[in-house]
């Protein structure tokens, strides 16, 4: 049972190691502690140094997936996360969940999607989504799920948000709240850097890596030095290019002018900021540069390349200089700000008139108020149950359940109804019991397929809408329920009984290619009246049980799943359709797995009549309900009867001993259903097929009795 923790929030991060993203997470946590109880879930590595600055009141949880193999697909990814679902973050419902530095980690994105909250926020802190098109299928699937589950994005800059929208199309239209990093500047400056006063001093604080362009900065400095623009440039930081930079400094003879200070503790960094003449950051890529924010809080003149966020921090020519990321422009800007003392004084004066600290603090307080604002969970979202019917399906049930729980719809329950399985189905199903949306029922005795369906919708499913899924089938679109309910809200009405999509038929243990079962129209969706839908099904042969979400109360009322026939699902849903309207979606919801043990493949010849006659019975019901002549349905109905009957003749007779009397019974069945069927090409072909089989069989028996050996 899920519990709602008052004023409690969860932060999720893919890692908590030294770096800007980790400190953004930690600083937001520490600022929000006075107002919230906070849990932290980390799905990757952590650093003791970062964890040490967290308040002891924060409960930290970690997924340890390092020994797992990379998931084969998104359902396998879900299965790898499932053993950790007993951790408290997966068992509670929070006021808010805040994801930070999630992309492109499938573990972080999937965990974010699975936890429960009244509202979900995701920080966008860097340009990792620029590689979206190159993500592997599992990463992309989990990232997409995370994006869909995010209520509000928190990009650290508007420019970053707009840029990432060009790469990850799912971001388009999502609500955003620009949330710049929190800066914490220590102004108690006891340490005094030993900086000679004979030349201006320029300071950069950055990782020594390609995207920070330290090598390019050295080359620009050397060029300016040769042009007699003299200053010392200090670099605080370490990184993979450190040895390369040292060698280049020596080669250029810039040892006294371009100086690497290495890694310094924060209080010394701020002392250097306070001492420098100019602060500069010449990165090629940033989300929103925290060090620039810190320098502005210290009222230092800043020059920076026009990366994400800079134009939201610096008012160009008033509080600093913004230059294009081009060597000539950078060199020109540097020479100007280093040489023009009046320009620097103007920048400093303007910064003091409008202190940055108060502005940044205000942003944090406004965010806290938004998180505190009461939210009604799943407001206006109808409750949908995915009901999974199973009996002795130990090899399939886990995939069915995981595909259901992967749905991103917020007001969802997954109900497994086990018809007294004698294998390990129950054990496999209960592996998912940690999910608060999961419910398992086991019948005391085996009821049989149809009675189990009926009990499921009358006794176990308590939702407004239901999707029935057999335990050997599975959903493939994790957005399907959301798409269907969104479509209903947009195009449906109070009389809509069903929303139906297609499916793919998958043939297990054979080389046969999958077959898509989709409606034969070009639109994304179409709304049918009940009578028109019936005609559409008969004419196009489109129908999908696993792709149908239906109104439970109405289905119970009209007796869905009461006809004890193989086609009980179609019988009930076609009759339900006549009670109102049907929305048909032109997409695939999931896979119908054909493995040889399906109920449909075990149909007996004696059951064929009842499973085909139902279509004319329903058409007669429709003609009465809609006060129309059955001739309205006749062309499509006869076509559907012929196609279905021919198919069932083949299924039921191809694997059974041949008996000539079956040919007579085939004719009798066709005539009993509709005398016109006997003249349909499909039925004539079926009769001819079985006549040849029975004639050959009779000839072989006759020759055998006569003692004549026949070569095979």
Q: Measure the CA–CA gap between 53 and 56, rounded to whole angstroms.
A: 9
- The confidence score (pLDDT) of residue 380 equals 65
Output the pTM of the full model.
0.75
Is there a single domain that holds both residue 227 and residue 167? no
- Averaged pLDDT, groups of 10, the chain, 712 residues long: 64 87 86 91 90 90 78 86 90 93 94 92 94 93 93 93 93 90 76 90 96 97 97 96 97 97 90 95 90 92 95 94 97 97 96 76 80 65 96 95 92 96 96 91 95 96 96 94 95 96 91 93 96 96 97 96 92 96 97 78 82 93 87 92 89 77 88 92 89 78 71 60
Is there a single domain that holds both residue 224 and residue 110? no
Q: What is the DSSP string of 342-411?
A: HHHHHHHHHHHHS-HHHHHHHHHHHHHHHHHS---TTTT---EEEEEEESS-TTTHHHHHHHHHT---SS
Give the residue from 581, 602, 623 where a domain finishes. 602
Q: Measure the CA–CA gap between 103 and 139, rounded to whole angstroms.
A: 9
Q: CATH number, domain at 558?
A: 3.90.550.10
**Residue 616: domain span:** 604-711
Is there a single domain that holds both residue 579 and residue 597? yes
Is there a single domain that holds both residue 297 and residue 338? yes
Is there a single domain that holds both residue 336 and residue 423? no
Cβ-proximal residues to 107 (8 Å cutoff; 6+ apart), any chain: 14, 43, 44, 63, 65, 77, 81
Provide the number of structural domains found in the chain.
4
Q: CATH number, domain at 39?
A: 3.40.50.2000
Q: What are phi and psi of 115, to 5 degrees?
A: -70, 155
Helices (H), 191-305: 214-226, 242-252, 266-275, 290-297
Q: Measure the CA–CA gap between 452 and 387, rounded to whole angstroms.
A: 11
Is there a single domain that holds both residue 258 and residue 211? yes
Q: Measure the CA–CA gap between 21 and 19, rounded to whole angstroms.
A: 6
Is the separation of the CB atoms in 347 and 335 below 8 Å?
A: no
Give the residue from 555, 583, 602 where a domain finishes. 602
Neighbouring C-beta atoms of residue 635, cutoff 10 Å: 12
Is there a single domain that holds both residue 130 and residue 260? no
Is there a single domain that holds both residue 424 and residue 295? no
Instruction: Give the bridge partners for 320, in sequence order.
Output: 316
Is there a single domain that holds both residue 704 and residue 643? yes
Give the residue from 546, 575, 602 where a domain finishes. 602
Closest C-alpha among 540, 517, 641, 534 to residue 591: 517
Is there a single domain that holds both residue 148 and residue 27? yes
Closest C-alpha among 168, 101, 178, 171 to residue 130: 168
- The confidence score (pLDDT) of residue 70 equals 82
Q: Measure the CA–CA gap between 409 and 412, rounded to whole angstroms.
A: 6
Q: Is residue 416 part of a domain?
A: yes
Is there a single domain that holds both residue 237 and residue 340? yes
Q: Is residue 656 part of a domain?
A: yes
Is there a single domain that holds both residue 401 and residue 274? no
Q: Measure the CA–CA gap between 28 and 94, rounded to whole angstroms.
A: 17
Strand order in the sheet with 3-4: 3-4, 92-94, 116-117
- The confidence score (pLDDT) of residue 5 equals 45
φ/ψ bin of 541: left (φ > 0), alpha (ψ from -120 to 50), beta (otherwise): left
Q: Measure the CA–CA gap between 440 and 452, rounded to whole angstroms.
A: 14
- The confidence score (pLDDT) of residue 601 equals 61
- The confidence score (pLDDT) of residue 50 equals 86
């Amino acid at each position: 049972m899920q519990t709602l923790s008052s004023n409690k929030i969860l932060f999720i991060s893919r890692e908590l190691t030294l770096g800007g993203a980790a400190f953004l997470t930690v600083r937001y946590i520490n600022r929000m502690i006075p107002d919230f109880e906070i849990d932290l879930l980390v799905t990757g590595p952590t650093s003791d140094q970062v964890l040490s600055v967290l308040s002891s009141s924060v409960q930290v949880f970690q997924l340890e997936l390092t020994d797992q193999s990379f998931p084969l697909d998104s359902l396998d990814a879900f299965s790898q996360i499932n053993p950790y679902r007993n951790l408290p973050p997966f068992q509670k419902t929070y006021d808010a969940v805040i994801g930070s530095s999630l992309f492109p980690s499938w573990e972080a994105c999937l965990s974010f999607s699975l936890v429960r909250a009244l509202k979900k926020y995701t920080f966008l802190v860097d340009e990792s989504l620029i590689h979206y098109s190159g993500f592997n299928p599992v990463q992309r699937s989990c990232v997409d799920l995370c994006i869909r589950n995010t209520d509000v994005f928190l990009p650290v800059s508007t420019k970053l948000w707009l840029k990432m929208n060009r790469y990850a199309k799912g971001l388009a239209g999502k609500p955003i709240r620009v949330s710049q990093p929190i800066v914490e500047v220590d102004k108690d400056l006891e340490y005094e850097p030993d900086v000679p006063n004979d030349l201006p001093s320029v300071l950069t604080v950055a990782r020594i890596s390609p995207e920070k362009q330290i090598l390019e900065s050295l080359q620009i400095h050397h060029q300016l030095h040769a042009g007699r623009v003299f200053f010392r440039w200090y670099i605080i930081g370490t990184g993979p290019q450190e040895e390369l930079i040292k060698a280049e400094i020596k080669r250029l003879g810039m040892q006294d002018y371009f100086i690497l200070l290495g890694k310094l503790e924060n209080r010394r960094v701020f002392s250097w900021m306070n001492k420098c003449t100019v602060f500069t950051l010449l990165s090629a890529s940033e989300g929103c540069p925290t060090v620039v924010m810190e320098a502005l809080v210290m009222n230092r003149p800043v020059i920076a390349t026009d990366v994400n966020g800079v134009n939201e921090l610096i008012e160009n020519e008033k509080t600093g200089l913004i230059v294009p990321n081009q060597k000539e422009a950078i060199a020109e800007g540097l020479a100007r700000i280093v040489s023009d003392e009046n320009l620097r004084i103007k920048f400093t004066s303007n910064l003091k008139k409008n202190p940055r600290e108060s502005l940044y603090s205000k942003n944090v307080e406004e965010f806290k108020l938004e998180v505190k604002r009461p939210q009604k969970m799943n407001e206006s979202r109808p409750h949908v149950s995915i009901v999974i019917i199973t009996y002795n399906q130990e090899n399939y049930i886990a995939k069915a359940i995981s595909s259901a729980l992967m749905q991103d719809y917020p007001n969802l329950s997954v109900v497994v109804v086990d018809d007294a399985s004698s294998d390990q189905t129950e054990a496999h199903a209960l592996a998912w019991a940690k999910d608060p949306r999961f419910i398992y029922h086991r019948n005391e005795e085996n009821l049989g397929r149809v009675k189990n369906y009926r009990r499921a919708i009358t006794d176990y499913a308590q939702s407004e809408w239901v999707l029935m899924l057999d335990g050997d089938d599975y959903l493939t679109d994790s957005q399907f329920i959301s798409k269907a309910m969104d479509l209903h809200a947009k195009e449906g009405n109070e009389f809509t009984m069903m929303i139906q999509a297609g499916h793919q038929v998958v043939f297990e243990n054979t080389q046969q290619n999958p077959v898509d079962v989709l409606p034969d129209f070009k639109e994304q969706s179409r709304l049918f009246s009940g009578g028109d839908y019936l005609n559409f099904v008969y004419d196009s042969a489109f129908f999908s049980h696993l792709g149908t979400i239906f109104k439970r109360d109405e289905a119970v009322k009209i007796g869905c799943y009461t006809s004890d026939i193989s086609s009980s699902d179609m019988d009930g849903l076609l009759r339900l359709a006549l009670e109102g309207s049907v929305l048909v979606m032109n997409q695939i919801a999931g896979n119908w797995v054909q493995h040889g043990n399906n109920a449909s493949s075990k149909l007996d010849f004696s059951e064929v009549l009842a499973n085909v006659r139902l279509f004319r019975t329903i058409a007669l019901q429709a003609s009465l309900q809609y006060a129309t002549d059955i001739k309205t349905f006749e062309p499509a109905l006869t076509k559907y009867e012929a196609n279905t009957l021919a198919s069932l003749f083949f299924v039921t007779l191809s694997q059974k001993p041949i008996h000539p009397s079956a040919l007579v019974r085939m004719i009798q069945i066709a005539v009993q259903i509709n005398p016109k069927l006997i003249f349909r090409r499909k039925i004539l072909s079926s009769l001819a097929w079985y006549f040849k089989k029975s004639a050959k069989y009779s000839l072989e028996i006759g020759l055998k009795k006569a003692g004549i050996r026949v070569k095979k």
